[in-house]
């Protein structure tokens, strides 16, 4: 396989409304991102991924687009976007935009035209169906945001399909005009210098013909029906056509697809270069949890649970093995759709620094493309949201009401939502100890955690901070050993996650403790070979061939140094 620039990329996800406010309105914007380009570059990343910045009614934080060709005034102007792309390139940073393929806003001109009736030329840009009988829905499929996927048009008798909010009607990708229109949008932004796209919800572009009911469901009940609207056969066909047409003009474009429910076979299918569709995909299937203590009457993903490390190791090993030849899988712990990494997988109270460093070490030195959510590099935790009315996610309010009806206390429900909701990951970036953490001069749109040690200014000054650990780690990630080296998961107990990366005569041993207790591991090489300690966090030690990792400990050791491709070693020692 020929090498592509993105195979060695390190992606920094910027959630624009939460990153930096430049005009004092409490909302982050593009000029704020421009102001922070030097900081972004200093991390050692190579790509900025911007969540949606197009014109939108903001029903779903910009994922409901009403004009793909213009920047929402909330974030700035098209000139600001052009300046950001140009200046990012001057810093050696590439830029990818979030591109919503599956649906638009109901305020989009296409949909406003479609509402004029069945004879309108834009009617077929969307998905329509008749009710079974007067007043009955077309089928029993449920929306991801709660309720049915069907909404009756205001002036006619048909229903339109919306997999998410009713204000976000799904596009009809079976219509060639839709395919051409979306390609035109992508080309427009590529012409302005964008380097690629994160393709939102692309796995839902195909729906089961005829919209059949989910069988064996009580009349009047609606249920999630992913088998009818996720990962259907035509998805790859649509993506292949879109990607091939775009690559004819821009062969170096990077296309990473959001494939939330994709298993490994689907991920291989979507990202195999022979299929010429996506270059990589982001799945939500990495993080299996122990669900035994959860209430099955409520959505399992909205209840806190402990990571099933055994299942996680098996999953990651399979993804490393199956996608290694394609440049590796995407590597991430969190994003705008899920809780903050250190809150979900680490120990915020007792071992926040160690667990933040351990998580970074474990994930990002594997083979693949790191995707780092802004603020992760300073150990940002979940936003503390005090009341249900402060949650923006529609599914949060549905969960709250259902849990209340089942007898759960308000306090318990809020704890669960603060632990799992995507809203908790969207607190504004913590830059310093000034009012509103240096994000804005006005109260932020999402509120803010103000913490003495967990902001950029404090960590810049601390050589041992999470921030400076990330910088070292990402520096090593760019060396041949960690970009091209093979991957091998080492069999250990269920407290440890250990693996090797090997290139030529050089092998890195990465060992991480996923618990709050010390864990021991043994390796004959500790006494038989010279090695370099590249990275280690606190509370770790080595005596003879026995290593000890402290609570959430992590260590990276390199054996058989290859002088030609030697990482920038800190010390060649026998203890750490």
Catalytic residues: 200, 258
Integer angstrom CA distances of residue 529 from 273, 490, 523, 573: 40, 19, 10, 11
Count CB neighbours of 406 within 10 A: 11
What torsion, rounded to 10 degrees, do the Cα atoms 391, 396, 401, 403 define? -120
Locate 394 and state its tokens: 């529609």
The angle formed by the CA atoms of residues 60, 305 and 509, to the nearest 5 degrees, is 100
391 burial (CB, 10 Å; 0-12 / 13-18 / 19+) is buried
Q: Strand 541-543 relative to strand 546-549: parallel, antiparallel, unpaired?
A: antiparallel
Residue with tokens 């009955």: 136
- Distance (Å, whole) CA 334 – CA 339: 6
Contact in structure between 161 and 131 (CB atoms under 8 Å): no
- Distance (Å, whole) CA 498 – CA 502: 13
Contact in structure between 239 and 204 (CB atoms under 8 Å): no
- Distance (Å, whole) CA 125 – CA 179: 10
What torsion, rounded to 10 degrees, do the Cα atoms 470, 471, 475, 476 define? -30
Count CB neighbours of 1 within 10 A: 10
């Amino acid at each position: 396989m020929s090498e592509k620039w993105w195979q060695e990329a390190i992606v920094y996800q910027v959630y624009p409304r939460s990153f930096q406010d430049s005009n004092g309105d409490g909302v982050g914007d593009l000029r704020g991102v421009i102001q922070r380009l030097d900081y972004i570059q200093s991390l050692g990343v190579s790509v900025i991924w911007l969540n949606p910045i197009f014109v939108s009614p903001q029903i779903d934080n910009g994922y409901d687009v009403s004009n793909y060709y213009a920047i929402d005034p909330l974030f700035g102007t098209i000139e600001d976007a052009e300046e950001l792309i140009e200046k990012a390139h001057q810093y050696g940073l590439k830029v990818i935009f979030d591109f919503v393929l599956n649906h638009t806003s109901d305020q989009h001109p296409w949909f406003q035209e479609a509402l004029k009736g069945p004879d309108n030329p834009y009617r077929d840009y969307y998905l329509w169906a008749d009710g079974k009988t007067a007043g009955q829905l077309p089928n029993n499929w449920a929306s991801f945001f709660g309720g049915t996927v069907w909404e009756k048009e205001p002036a006619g008798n048909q229903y339109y399909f919306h997999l998410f909010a009713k204000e976000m009607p799904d596009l009809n990708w079976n219509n060639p005009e839709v395919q051409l229109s979306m390609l035109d949008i992508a080309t427009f932004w590529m012409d302005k210098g964008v380097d690629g796209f994160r393709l939102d919800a692309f796995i839902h572009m195909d729906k089961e013909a005829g919209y059949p009911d989910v069988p064996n469901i009580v009349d009047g009940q609606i249920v999630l029906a992913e088998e009818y609207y996720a990962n259907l056969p035509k998805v790859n066909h649509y993506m292949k056509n879109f990607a091939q047409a775009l690559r004819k003009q821009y062969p170096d474009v990077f296309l990473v697809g959001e494939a939330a429910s994709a298993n490994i076979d689907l991920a291989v299918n979507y990202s195999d270069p022979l299929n010429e569709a996506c270059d990589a995909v982001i799945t939500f299937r990495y993080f299996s949890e122990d669900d035994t203590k959860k209430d099955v009457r409520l959505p399992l993903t909205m209840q806190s649970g402990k990571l099933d490390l055994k299942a996680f190791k098996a999953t990651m090993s399979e993804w490393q093995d199956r996608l290694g030849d394609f440049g590796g899988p995407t590597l991430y712990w969190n994003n705008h759709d899920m809780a903050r990494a250190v809150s979900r997988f680490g120990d915020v109270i007792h071992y926040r620094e160690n667990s933040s460093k351990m998580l970074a070490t474990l994930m990002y030195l594997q083979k693949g493309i790191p995707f780092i959510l802004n603020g992760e590099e300073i150990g940002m935790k979940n936003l503390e949201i005090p009341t249900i009315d402060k949650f923006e996610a529609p599914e949060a309010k549905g969960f709250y009401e259902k849990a209340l009806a089942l007898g759960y206390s308000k306090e318990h429900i809020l704890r669960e939502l603060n632990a799992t909701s995507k809203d908790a990951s969207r607190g504004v970036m913590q830059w310093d100890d000034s009012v509103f953490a240096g994000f804005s001069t006005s109260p932020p749109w999402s509120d803010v955690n103000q913490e003495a040690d967990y902001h950029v200014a404090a960590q810049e000054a601390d050589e041992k901070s999470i921030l400076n650990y990330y910088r070292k780690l990402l520096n090593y990630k760019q060396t041949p050993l960690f970009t091209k080296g093979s991957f091998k998961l080492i069999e250990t107990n269920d407290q440890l996650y250990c693996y090797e990366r090997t290139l030529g005569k050089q092998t890195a041993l990465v060992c991480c403790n996923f618990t709050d207790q010390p864990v021991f591991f043994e390796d004959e090489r500790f006494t038989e070979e010279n090695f370099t300690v590249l990275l280690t966090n606190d509370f770790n030690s080595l005596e003879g061939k026995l290593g000890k990792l402290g609570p959430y400990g992590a260590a990276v050791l390199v054996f058989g140094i290859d002088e030609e491709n030697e990482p920038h070693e800190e010390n060649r020692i026998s203890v750490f």
